[in-house]
């Protein structure tokens, strides 16, 4: 039994119908999870039964690859994840049938407006009793631009500048009302304390937003903010804004270096290390024996479609025509990608290790470059505990190869083993997402300023 005071945390990453791009073809897969509310609700109940911290929904406002042309011909998409329920609406529904599970929806800053995003997430936070989370992204898919009146995607650096200001507007609006602003006093007829409502009056480079927001303050202070950027500018944004970071590393030294870098960056923004949780992504494959786990792993590898994988390499190639090259040859020098810069860095690193285009594509087509771990509940518990104790992670985002069976196996097989070791909760600590995640409630900026002014005046009157 370990004596560490820290315990593991988990999110269930929902990229329906499967996180393995062609995992939906597995005999046990239920591919209708992409558009079936009944199946999504089943998985939410399963995740909550397993005491997971959250469900984390991926999203895109386009069909990735739908505008791509290779060799003069339109690219024909063969992977899953082409149509799915809009996740912000989905987490509102899930919030109504769960009690403790955190609910994260991806929502891009590139093709939305801050006021609408602030209002919708805060509404879901109230519906769920303080369990909403916003995965702040800048959009990887360049296909999204043409759906919003643009000929091309925002340039990578501009996307992050815009996202940073977008975040500041949203959280500023979330601070519109102080906790005790609403009096609802029938005797006096006073509905709220006007002095505890605050107008943002934001005027910036990308947004001008007056406010105030017409939704009260969150039951958990403000919704949890997740961020998945691992490029330099992405890490800087995460260190300043995030409560939870979704990332991808293969080894404990890499994971520890990433977490340490985030913590150093946090110091510049006056933040403490306990204000962020770092969740590397893993694709777990669980067997009752190592032989069974190996058999499952090989079965999933056999489902990898080389065409899907090579197309994934092409989307990260920065315009280099990967399809014209020998798939069993080396990865050529790539131009900077305007899609996922950190993911491009990962495939470049694979190429430097001698992997061919086909090899790299197979990694992308298996787990989106996240670490694949297979074994028994005991061996998996050993692995994840070592990551935690070595300071390489606070928890993990679980990318299941298909749904719903691998999630059920995780809850029924791995969670009890971790609980037996004292490495995972046996009940939820809180009814709010922040409470279970163990990150603090940010103070309302306006209330904090008012208290500071009052203290200063009192001191000067001495």
Task: In whole angstroms, give the CA distance from residue 54 to residue 140.
Answer: 23
Of 81-90, 117-126, 396-405, 409-418, the poorest mean pLDDT is in 81-90
Of 125-129, 142-146, 347-351, 396-400, the poorest mean pLDDT is in 142-146
Q: What tokens were used for 424?
A: 């995972």
Q: How confident is the model at residue 8 (pLDDT cuts 50, 70, 90)?
A: very high
What separation in angstroms does the CA of 97 have from each of 412, 432, 459? 21, 15, 50
Number of other CB atoms surrounding residue 56 within 10 Å: 30
What pLDDT, on a 0 to 100 scale, did the predictor assign at position 457?
Answer: 36
Is 5 inside a domain boundary? Answer: no
Q: Which residue has the higher pLDDT, 65 or 308?
A: 308
> % helix / strand / coil in the chain, to the nearest 5?
45, 15, 40
Sign of CA dihedral 232, 440, 136, 312: positive
What pLDDT, on a 0 to 100 scale, did the predictor assign at position 125?
Answer: 98
Q: Per the structure, how many domains does the chain have?
A: 1
Is 454 inside a domain boundary? Answer: yes
Does 78 have pLDDT greater than 90?
Answer: no
Decide: 379 and 343 in contact? Cβ < 8 Å: no
What pLDDT, on a 0 to 100 scale, did the predictor assign at position 208?
Answer: 98
What pLDDT, on a 0 to 100 scale, did the predictor assign at position 456?
Answer: 42
Is 366 inside a domain boundary? Answer: no
Is 365 inside a domain boundary? Answer: no
Domain span at 407: 10-302+371-461
Is 323 inside a domain boundary? Answer: no
Is 320 inside a domain boundary? Answer: no
Task: In whole angstroms, give the CA distance from residue 361 to residue 308.
Answer: 8
Q: Could you tell me the CATH number of the domain that includes residue 264?
A: 3.20.20.30
This prediction's pTM: 0.90
Query: Average of pLDDT values for 343-362?
Result: 90
Q: Which residue has the higher pLDDT, 168 or 338?
A: 168
Q: How confident is the model at residue 4 (pLDDT cuts 50, 70, 90)?
A: very low
Tens of pLDDT along 419-448? 999 999 999 999 999 999 999 999 999 886
Is 293 inside a domain boundary? Answer: yes
Task: In whole angstroms, give the CA distance from residue 58 to residue 55.
Answer: 10
Q: Which residue has the higher pLDDT, 363 or 93?
A: 93
The 3-state DSSP class for residue 192 equals strand
Is 443 inside a domain boundary? Answer: yes
Query: Average of pLDDT values for 185-208?
Result: 96
Task: In whole angstroms, give the CA distance from residue 249 to residue 257.
Answer: 10
């Amino acid at each position: 039994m370990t004596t560490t005071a820290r315990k593991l945390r988990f999110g269930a990453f929902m990229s329906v119908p499967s996180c393995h791009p062609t995992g939906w073809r597995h005999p046990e897969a239920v591919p209708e999870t992409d558009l079936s509310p009944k199946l999504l609700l089943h998985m939410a109940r399963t995740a909550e039964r397993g005491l997971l911290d959250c469900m984390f929904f991926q999203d895109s406002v386009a069909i990735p690859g739908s505008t791509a042309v290779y060799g003069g011909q339109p690219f024909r998409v063969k992977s899953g994840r082409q149509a799915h329920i809009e996740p912000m609406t989905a987490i509102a529904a899930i919030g109504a049938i769960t009690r403790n599970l955190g609910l994260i929806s991806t929502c891009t800053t590139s093709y939305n407006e801050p006021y609408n995003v602030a209002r919708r997430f805060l509404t879901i936070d109230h519906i769920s009793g303080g369990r909403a989370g916003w995965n702040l992204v800048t959009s990887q898919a360049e296909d999204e631009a043409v759906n919003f009146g643009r000929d091309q995607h925002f340039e990578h650096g501009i996307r992050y500048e815009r996202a940073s200001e977008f975040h500041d507007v949203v959280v500023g609006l979330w601070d519109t009302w102080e906790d005790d602003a609403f009096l609802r006093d029938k005797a006096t007829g006073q509905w709220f304390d006007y002095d505890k409502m605050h107008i943002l009056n934001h005027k910036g480079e990308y947004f001008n937003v007056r406010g105030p927001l017409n939704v009260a303050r969150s039951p958990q202070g403000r919704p949890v903010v997740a961020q998945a950027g691992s490029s330099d500018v992405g890490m800087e944004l995460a260190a300043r804004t995030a409560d939870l970071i979704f990332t991808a590393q293969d080894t404990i030294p890499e994971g520890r270096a990433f977490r340490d870098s985030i913590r150093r960056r946090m110091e510049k923004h006056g933040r403490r290390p306990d204000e962020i949780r770092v969740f590397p992504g893993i694709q777990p494959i669980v067997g009752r024996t190592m032989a069974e786990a190996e058999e499952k792993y090989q079965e999933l590898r056999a489902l990898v479609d080389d065409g899907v994988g090579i197309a994934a390499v092409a989307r990260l190639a920065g315009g280099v025509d990967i399809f014209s090259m020998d798939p069993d040859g080396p990865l050529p020098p790539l131009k900077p990608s305007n899609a996922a810069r950190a993911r491009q860095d990962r495939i470049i690193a694979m190429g430097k290790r001698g992997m061919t285009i086909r090899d790299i594509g197979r990694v992308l087509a298996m787990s989106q470059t996240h670490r694949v771990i297979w074994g028994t509940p005991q061996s998996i518990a050993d692995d994840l505990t070592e990551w935690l104790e070595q300071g390489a992670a606070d928890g993990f985002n679980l990318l299941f190869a298909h749904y719903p069976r691998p999630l059920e196996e995780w809850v029924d097989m791995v969670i009890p083993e971790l609980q037996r070791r004292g490495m995972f909760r046996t009940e939820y600590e809180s009814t709010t997402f922040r409470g279970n995640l163990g990150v603090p409630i940010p103070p309302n900026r306006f209330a904090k300023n008012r208290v500071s002014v009052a203290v200063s005046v009192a001191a000067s009157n001495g």
